[in-house]
Chain A
């Protein structure tokens, strides 16, 4: 039991002065957790990853143009705005189609696509789980990123082996870049703490 009295007086937020915008009501009940980010931030990050994925995929097909960038941003905005529709898979299929039509991309581009596809899908999974005003602990995202990195190490190695077996040629620069990518994923898997 406690002794409540009058309603709390809340200070209006700065955006409440803007016409048509009302501040969200102060939550009546709140959980005290560790550092968090809002669901909106997760959605924006997901959209950015999808946009980057689409632009890299388009670059395999044709040089980047304003219309391709706008198209990528539009689809990314759709993915971010409607996370529960799993539209990220449309983006993945589009990228697969572009790679299929555009011909074998450079080794580094392929490896970057493998990484971006994984990150975009992973981020989309979380943005589908949280509402816009929900919060997600940074520890959860860090642990998820660590798992992504753990999966990326074998995925990148497998991709390199598959590409080499398929006839792709690796020059010295490519070798270093591949090595850097794999090392980066491995370091991320090791460095990202298990518990924040």
Chain B
């Protein structure tokens, strides 16, 4: 017997029963009893004689073009993902949240089948007994609602010898990691900061310049461009052309937006998982998933309007991503958001991070403690327009016991007071789980001023 393979219990007991029948038949001279043992003993001996000699190997990751003909059609339609981290891929026509990877199994000669088990987040997801001759690559499809760094799957494999007579030792589980970027969603009107800056962008400012709406009509002065002369006004006001009149415009300006993500907690909809001993279900997006998605959606919307967007993390002491514009800035923000996760003990900040002057601050937090709320209030007192985005998921309370429900009620009371305090401090509140587009459009309208008076609405 080879060491990596052992005899199966069923076959061993079968062989024993076969030997018993054989002996009984021989003892009483009954061939009809003895022949019942023939297939049992024969199958066991035949299976043990052909026991494979080597271990099963399993690998999860990119295909090395080693597919056998059995799986060749399954390879079509896969495409490499942007970023290129890990070996996991996604097909272009897949629904969002679909990861594609490959399980490559190498089995020694004589292996009848391999039991392949797929685990994810320590939960069994799939188990299949497959035929493997030499080597076989199986496509693995993972549906996830989670973003950020994560393990695609853990693959366990056990080989089964001929006739199920032998089984191999379980192999070391194969794993693969992937970084899942958050996806932006469509948004409508967005709030703008109290002060706009710069001379580019899409928002009219109150400074004189070019590109914006009409500021006034003014007599021509040295320095005015000739193409700004308004001949109709000139003809009406000065028919003898003793004086020329020019149209003066307002400048366009851009908004500086700073997204501040509170990565100190990452909680799911089930309050029983908040203490950390249980993991949230893999099918439940956590608060940090919602924060990533919200921040990405807002970043995309502001960047599309020509604004400058930066990113900071309340839960980590590191240099913030400074405000910038353009498509590459969106890529940088998405990547930084995907890497954002709780790190070590929650950070306590004495003072809120410094921000660019006049920036619109959008804070993404669950507001389960005072840190994010305090920072938001400090920024508001410093003159920034501050929007607090509540990313607490919709809680699942039906599964709670009375004590847990009472504890949740206390937490909720404190949180409600905290959110009310934020609103008292003139911090605007948006709940991401309840139609955020509507709330953001409402904030945009509430901050609307006439063009030229400082701010506008896209």
Contact = CB atoms under 8 A, between A and B. Distances in A.
Interface of A: 1-8, 25-34, 36, 86, 88-89, 92-93, 95-96, 99-100, 104-105, 110, 113-115, 117-118, 121-122, 124-126, 128-131, 133-137, 139-140, 143-144, 147-148, 151-152, 154-155, 158-159, 162-163, 165-166, 168, 195-196
20 contacts: A4-B147, A8-B95, A25-B283, A29-B141, A92-B36, A96-B33, A100-B24, A114-B39, A117-B40, A118-B40, A121-B40, A125-B164, A128-B9, A129-B164, A130-B127, A143-B112, A158-B38, A162-B31, A163-B32, A165-B31
Contact of A28 (B21, B94, B113, B283): B283
A116 B329 CA distance: 70
A28 B142 contact: yes
Interface stretch (B118-126, B241-249, B412-420): B118-126
Interface stretch (B176-184, B224-232, B254-262, B318-326): B176-184
Contacts of B131: 34, 137, 139-140, 143, 195-196
B138 A5 contact: no
A144 B97 contact: no
Contacts of A118: 39-40, 43
B46 interface: yes
B356 interface: no
Contacts of B112: 140, 143-144
Nearest to A96: B21
B66 interface: no
Instruction: List the 10 shortest-distance A-B pairs measured between CB atoms, nearest first.
Output: A4-B97, A118-B39, A166-B31, A125-B164, A2-B90, A3-B183, A159-B35, A134-B127, A136-B129, A29-B125
A80 to B, nearest CB: 14
A27 B128 CA distance: 13
Contacts of B180: 1-4
A28 B120 contact: yes
Interface stretch (B77-85, B188-196, B208-216, B368-376): B77-85
A136 B162 CA distance: 15
A30 B140 contact: yes
Contact of A1 (B8, B81, B130, B163): B81
Nearest to A111: B35
B381 interface: no
Given A29-B140, A96-B33, A100-B28, A2 B98 contact: yes
A104 B97 contact: no
B30 interface: yes
B283 A1 contact: no
Contact of A92 (B17, B24, B81, B116): B17
A93 B96 CA distance: 56
B99 interface: yes
B36 A99 contact: yes
A102 B388 CA distance: 85
B35 A163 contact: yes
